[in-house]
Amino acid sequence: MEQETIASDPKLPAAGKSRSSAIDSWMSEPGTGVHEIEYTHQTEEGFTSAVLKFLDQTVDKKSFDPRSAILFCLIFVVLFVLYPVQTVCWTAGGMALLGLLLLASGLFANYPIITSQEGITWSPLHALSLRGRFTRPWSEIRAIEFAHGRHISNTPDCIYIAYKDGCDVQLRLAGFTKKNLELLLLMIRNRCPDARWLPEDERVRINVALSAAPTSQISFTGLWLDEIGSRLGSTAFVPLDPGTVLQDGRVKVVGQIALGGLSAIYLAQTDDKKTCVLKESVVPFSCEDEARRVALDLFKREAQLLARIDHPRIARIYDFFIEDDHHFLLMEFLEGRNLRQYVQEHGPQKESMSVIWAKQIADIVAYLHEMQPPILHRDLTPDNLIVEDDGAISLIDFGAANQFLSTATGTIIGKTSYMSLEQFRGKSSPPCDIFSYGCTLQYLLLGIDPEPFSYSSTATGRGDWNTLQELIRECKHEDPKARPTARAIADRLDVILRERSARTSGA
């Protein structure tokens, strides 16, 4: 969690705006899920660079043959004498065509990659390699190949998106920013589950030249953002064994609850026999010192903010500490089953119960957002909400550890099915929690995780959730400013519950 940051990111396109009127009209429709992924085509081995390379080789002293130049001049003179008008026209036409191609290469140098729920629209610069079909459905992608030049490599400098009809698109890694590359690969992974990824070695490392920063690296292992440890390669992280004591015996690990690649959750006991939850996070040794320092500062600041929370339906933060470069949060233990477990056992919930729980969750989020400074949860999902013994909903976990690891590693960590696109791009604000809230309600009613980065709510034909259908749609609006506040949602649901209660009493 973090303090509210409303300032816009200059690197991101303004909401609802794009590079052409055609794209504007397409993106203006709610729920289309259209995204522009910025890519600089000037870094490609495109037409311009190919011409320059040819000219460079032509004047290369080692390969230059004066006899070839003399022969070319003689042929040109003969053609000019025999066919003067045609020769001039051919020469002028060739120069004009060359100029038009160079001009087009410059005009489309920063043309974005446009993705939608249906497929990808590529730059016109890929006209030849795609045989004129710029827009292609996801289902046509056959393979994603990481290569150095034209050869599959564990240290690639480009990606080939290969299609089933034999066409492919070459993308230089240096043309992406880190976030945009991750976003494109995530969308392909989600939309094309049958596509082959080459090489199959999960520890492929991709060198990325950032547009405004020195060259850095993204590690891809499995190419799926939810697999934290795999994504970041091997680390020295080993989970704690039961019986391990921390803080000079003040905290004792009882057992393991959950384990991720760079974090773990334990059931613990304090020296006064109080049962608690212990969250552990560790930063890989490969992270730079500056990133470690910034992450540590953030961890301390957010832990202090969390310690101020005093709400009967939010698990309290008792303490935070660092031991052997491992970072720990000691939290209140609340008994119950989380919403995911509950839905898996009992199936999708009826609207009558869902409205009650929706109101309780909205009250919790409103409390966090109305604190001074406002606190963002950043990880509002069915896994972090439990149904206690009294049937009420409580919040048991926060995104502090995720934010800590994201800052240290430079990789967004979280559940992408419940994450808005602006949060994925590193621009968190209260509307991000509202988006996650809408996704959680959708899971509660349907029993399946929402599609990542989708701004629409899936209809099922059920007639018992019309009340929440519109609310979910508003919470998942593509424009963050158009989403309602948590307090507005809570008040709206309170009115609905009061009206139902009045009708029941009157009957």
Q: Is this model's pTM higher than 0.75 or not? A: no
CB atoms within 10 A of CB 302: 25
The pLDDT of residue 221: 27
The pLDDT of residue 430: 92
* Alpha-carbon span 244 to 237, nearest angstrom: 15
In terms of Cβ atoms closer than 10 Å to its own Cβ (0-12, 13-18, 19+), residue 78 is exposed
The pLDDT of residue 426: 75
Q: What angle do CA 140, 143, 147 make, to 5 degrees?
A: 140
Ranges under pLDDT 50 in the chain: 1-32, 43-48, 52-53, 55-62, 201-203, 205-236, 400-413, 461, 464
Residues 6+ apart with CB under 8 A from 299: 281, 320, 327, 400, 404
> HEC string of 456-470?
CCCCCCCCCCHHHHH
The pLDDT of residue 387: 92
Residues 6+ apart with CB under 8 A from 138: 118, 119, 120, 188, 191, 192
Q: How many CA atoms lie within 13 A of 277 on its CB side?
A: 17
Domains (ranges, CATH) in the chain?
Answer: 47-107 (no CATH), 109-231 (2.30.29), 245-506 (1.10.510.10)
The CA–CA distances, whole Å, from 138 to 153, 164, 236, 452 equal: 24, 11, 38, 15
Q: How many CA atoms lie within 13 A of 463 on its CB side?
A: 0
Nearest alpha carbon to residue 223 among 411, 427, 425: 411
* Alpha-carbon span 493 to 441, nearest angstrom: 13
Maximum pairwise Cα distance, the chain: 105
pLDDT digits (tens, 9 = 90+) for 101-135: 555 555 555 778 888 878 899 987 787 888 889 89
The pLDDT of residue 385: 93
**Structure tokens that stand for 433 in this block:** 């929690």
* Encoded amino acid at 272, one letter: D
pLDDT digits (tens, 9 = 90+) for 442-485: 999 999 998 887 776 655 545 546 778 899 999 999 999 999 99
The pLDDT of residue 414: 53
- Does residue 328 sit in helix, strand or coil? strand
The pLDDT of residue 90: 76
**Structure tokens that stand for 455 in this block:** 């701004």
The pLDDT of residue 17: 36
Is residue 183 within 8 A of residue 208, CB to CB? The reply is: no
Is residue 387 within 8 A of residue 337, CB to CB? The reply is: yes
Nearest alpha carbon to residue 280 among 222, 337, 240: 240
The pLDDT of residue 436: 94
Nearest alpha carbon to residue 340 among 270, 286, 285, 397: 397
